Amino acid sequence: MPIDGPLRNTSVSLGAGEFFQLLRDRKPRTRADLIAITGQSRSTIATRIDALMSTGLIGPAGTAGSTGGRRPATFAFQPGARAVLAVDLGATHARLAVTDLASTVVAATDAPLSIAAGPDVVLPWVVRAGRELLDAAGRDVDDLAALGIGLPGPVEHSTGRPINPPIMPGWDDVDVPGLLGAELGVDVLVDNDVNIMALGEHRAAWPQVSDLLLVKVSTGIGAGIIADGALRRGAQGAAGDIGHMVVPGADHVPCRCGNTGCLEAVASGQAVAAALSAQGLEAADSADVVALVRSKGLAASQAVRQAGRDIGGVLASCVSMLNPSVIVIGGIVADAGEHLIAGIREAVYRRSLPLATQHLRIVTSRARVGAGVLGASAMAIDHVLSPAAIDALAA
Amino acid sequence: MPIDGPLRNTSVSLGAGEFFQLLRDRKPRTRADLIAITGQSRSTIATRIDALMSTGLIGPAGTAGSTGGRRPATFAFQPGARAVLAVDLGATHARLAVTDLASTVVAATDAPLSIAAGPDVVLPWVVRAGRELLDAAGRDVDDLAALGIGLPGPVEHSTGRPINPPIMPGWDDVDVPGLLGAELGVDVLVDNDVNIMALGEHRAAWPQVSDLLLVKVSTGIGAGIIADGALRRGAQGAAGDIGHMVVPGADHVPCRCGNTGCLEAVASGQAVAAALSAQGLEAADSADVVALVRSKGLAASQAVRQAGRDIGGVLASCVSMLNPSVIVIGGIVADAGEHLIAGIREAVYRRSLPLATQHLRIVTSRARVGAGVLGASAMAIDHVLSPAAIDALAA
């Protein structure tokens, strides 16, 4: 039997890192509160408070009410102590944000940026734009605690390197954490764009939901999985790669991966654009599809609804597999009004078993375009404020 | 941001329940060891040891080597202190085991039992057979700490009740924990048969693997999901219900669920038996299929291999979704030699992306028929030895 429960990672008495976790909820607490909560001695608590005060991560938070005598001082987490740079890179677009250590956005910016320009162009751009944004936020580079970044392709979780990313020529096995970290002098956390969206959407809009699936429908199609409250990445970080699941009945459609009938080849924004342009409509990409739907184009609305049905057919399999209680549909094609989600709902409810769908909600993203940077920020903060990182910082 | 890390569930100093988790690895430890590990005072440790000694869950474990003077006494977890009853019910068969608190089997038995006889027949049988087995193991009913049971159908995890189980007439919404608990006077943990197999296989054969999928191929087809080291049940406990995922190209095959093209309708032991019997062979169920394959029946071998391909087609979707590093194939049809697994491998490697399959192993069960009772035992033990349960016991 494995050792389970709270102490599995500790080998000494309550260190600064574990102690700090108690304060992450931002509530002010007195020394007496902290002694009562932890069962540690007065002198240990004093040492921990001093160490964390010296890092700036906690600070005085006024005085508490008292039953008499001098009112005791309280301490609380100071999320503004450091800054985090959060980056969400898409196929043709970049979004950056500077946040505090509670994922509150201090400054944000958007820019067109082609990921296909390769790492030699994109990574220096990220460093430059990141420095400018820090400056705009009134923060020094020395204030930076970490950088979180999402990339539009598979990322090996253990190394932070892209692995054979189909729309990212020149990026295979590139040491993104090493290259960005060398320039900015901080730890760099990398994941795919859909996982950071799932993390951002979950933290921002559905923190009480334990099982959630975030599906991004844009140039490609992918999913991020929250199960039992945490992002699940699988053995190599490739979980959620639903774009190459088979669409029943579409076996004849070739996909760039070499197989046929893949969801991405049938129902992505790119696939819908190609189908519409074969009908003589002007549709080069997902944005054109959304524009056509908004201008009341019947063919475009029908095509998006059918894409929804095809996505729903695959999501029915995901529902059978994972039994989520919420499916969030994000990505630019989700902006095409109700057509996409109506098609998805139709197919999911038709194909899934009652136990799995009786409490299932299928909704559009609430955090919307901000989900990615919120997730990138949360990923970086979870790293910076982990017990081990705080122990090292406070040592 | 949620509070994260070891102390998230504690509001006071290290209680008996958390303290006990340190000892679950069964290593003997001295008082001095335990003071050093926990940072608690000598008097707190003495209190915790006394409380746990009084429950019998820890006991003296000889003396440690010492640098001089009297050699200090050590304490260790005593898995034999209590017994657990583990039950694995299939469609037509029951397996029971009495284990200690480390899932070591003390006594086990098998019997034919039709789940379709209904709860009024099956549950009293389980109570009677359980009492007899405890007796055979030399344990009193008072020694029983809990009962873990797997059922061949969907179980709502929060209540332990079967929900519309297709092959269990009369069982819908039956209070299995309440009925068995009233007879045996212990807590009863219920899950579906595939989840307990996944838990048993993981604990017994793959404890170091974090992402594993257990697929049971017998009368029906289902999966249990281990992700990041733990069983994931989804929002209602329905995760892993892959029997009703669509087999591409089999849209014409009707399933008892009301849809068409479900995996179970195409590739379960029952479906293969029906296909063979339509060819004039004697095959009423999965066991007949296995017997035909073993007697070198070409038609049976071909049918099982095709079932493997159909299962593999669906598992390719599961691999895209979950990125496991091990897929274990269990259930009676897996006993038909290499035909089933060869078909599964063929389809999974053809349909999945390289990142997800480069380190993927597809293997047959090691724990075999014992996986279910081992998992039922582990599920019950995790409940009995949880920090909250130990706190209540030692209070």
In angstroms, what separates the C-alpha of B92 from chain A's closest C-alpha?
Answer: 24
In angstroms, what separates the C-alpha of B204 from chain A's closest C-alpha?
Answer: 10
Element (H, E) at A367: none
CB contact under 8 A, A320 and B245: yes
A4 pLDDT band, cuts 50/70/90, is: very low
What mean pLDDT do residues B222-244 have? 95
> Given CB atoms, is A152 within the 8 Å cutoff of chain B?
no
pLDDT digits (tens, 9 = 90+) for A47-61: 999 999 999 999 988
Provide the 3-class DSSP secondary structure of residue A153: coil
In angstroms, what separates the C-alpha of B59 from chain A's closest C-alpha?
Answer: 18
> Given CB atoms, is B205 within the 8 Å cutoff of chain A?
no
pLDDT digits (tens, 9 = 90+) for B145-187: 999 999 998 898 889 999 888 889 999 999 999 999 999 999 9
Buried (b) or exposed (e) across A236-258, using 16+ Cβ within 10 A? bbbbbbbbbbbbbbbeebebebe
Q: Phi, psi at residue B177, to the nearest 5°?
A: -60, -40
The reported pLDDT for the residue numbered B12 is 41
- What percent of chain B has a predicted confidence (pLDDT) above 90? 66
CB contact under 8 A, B323 and A251: no
The reported pLDDT for the residue numbered B67 is 62
> Given CB atoms, is A110 within the 8 Å cutoff of chain B?
no
CB contact under 8 A, A24 and B4: yes
How far, in Å, CA of B155 to CA of B150, rounded?
Answer: 9
CB contact under 8 A, B44 and A39: yes
The reported pLDDT for the residue numbered A19 is 87
Query: Which chain A residue lies closest to B357 (C-alpha atoms)?
Result: A236
Query: Which chain B residue lies closest to A377 (C-alpha atoms)?
Result: B1
pLDDT digits (tens, 9 = 90+) for B280-329: 999 999 999 999 999 878 999 999 999 999 999 999 999 999 999 999 99
Give Cβ neighbours of residue A298 (< 8 Å, ≥ 6 apart): none
Query: Which chain B residue lies closest to A38 (C-alpha atoms)?
Result: B13
CB contact under 8 A, A18 and B8: no
| Widest CA span in chain B | 82
Query: Which chain A residue lies closest to B202 (C-alpha atoms)?
Result: A1
If one compares A355 and B210, the residue with the highest pLDDT of the two is B210
Mark which residues 238-297 of B lie under 8 Å from A by CB: 238-242, 244-246, 248-249, 251, 257, 259, 261
- CB-neighbour burial class of residue A231 (10 A; exposed 0-12, middle 13-18, buried 19+): buried
**Which chain A residues touch B359 with a CB distance below 8 Å?**
235-236
The reported pLDDT for the residue numbered A8 is 34
- CB-neighbour burial class of residue B362 (10 A; exposed 0-12, middle 13-18, buried 19+): buried
Query: By C-alpha distance, which of A341, A342, A318 is closest to A330?
Result: A341
B274 pLDDT band, cuts 50/70/90, is: very high
Residue that the structure tokens 């799932």 belong to: A198
> Given CB atoms, is B227 within the 8 Å cutoff of chain A?
yes
How far, in Å, CA of A153 to CA of A257, rounded?
Answer: 13
In angstroms, what separates the C-alpha of B5 from chain A's closest C-alpha?
Answer: 7
Q: Select the residue from A320, A357, A361, A379 to test the B interface by mutation, using most B Cβ atoms within 10 A.
A: A320
In angstroms, what separates the C-alpha of A179 from chain B's closest C-alpha?
Answer: 23
What mean pLDDT do residues A169-190 have? 96
**Which chain A residues touch B226 with a CB distance below 8 Å?**
none
Query: By C-alpha distance, which of B105, B336, B8 is closest to A22?
Result: B8
The reported pLDDT for the residue numbered B335 is 86
Instruction: Kindly calculate the radius of gyration of chain B based on its CA atoms and give it in whole angstroms.
Output: 23
Mark which residues 172-201 of B lie under 8 Å from A by CB: none
In angstroms, what separates the C-alpha of B155 from chain A's closest C-alpha?
Answer: 9
- CB-neighbour burial class of residue B62 (10 A; exposed 0-12, middle 13-18, buried 19+): exposed
Domains of chain B: 10-77 (1.10.10.10), 81-198+372-394 (3.30.420.40), 205-368 (3.30.420.40)
pTM: 0.90
Query: Which chain A residue lies closest to B348 (C-alpha atoms)?
Result: A245
B13 pLDDT band, cuts 50/70/90, is: low
**Which chain A residues touch B320 with a CB distance below 8 Å?**
238, 241-242, 244-245
What mean pLDDT do residues A182-189 have? 96
| Widest CA span in chain A | 82
pLDDT at A222 over 70: yes
Buried (b) or exposed (e) across B268-297, using 16+ Cβ within 10 A? bbbbbbebbeeeebebebbbbbbebbeeeb
| Most confidently predicted of A56-60, B2-6, B70-74 | A56-60
B66 pLDDT band, cuts 50/70/90, is: low
A15 pLDDT band, cuts 50/70/90, is: confident
A68 pLDDT band, cuts 50/70/90, is: low
How far, in Å, CA of B92 to CA of B111, rounded?
Answer: 9
The reported pLDDT for the residue numbered B68 is 65
Element (H, E) at A84: strand A83-89
Provide the 3-class DSSP secondary structure of residue A14: coil
From first CA to last CA, the distance across chain A in angstroms is 33
Query: Which chain B residue lies closest to A354 (C-alpha atoms)?
Result: B164
**Which chain A residues touch B241 with a CB distance below 8 Å?**
320-321, 323, 353, 355-356
CB contact under 8 A, B261 and A248: yes
Provide the 3-class DSSP secondary structure of residue A354: helix
Q: Phi, psi at residue B282, to the nearest 5°?
A: -85, 95
> Given CB atoms, is A138 within the 8 Å cutoff of chain B?
no
The reported pLDDT for the residue numbered B358 is 84
Residue B269 · residue B332 · CB < 8 Å:
yes
Q: Which residues pair with A246 in a beta bridge?
A: A262
Please state, rounded to an integer, the average pLDDT across all residues of chain A.
90
Query: By C-alpha distance, which of B323, B315, B303 is closest to B348?
Result: B315
CB contact under 8 A, B211 and A102: no
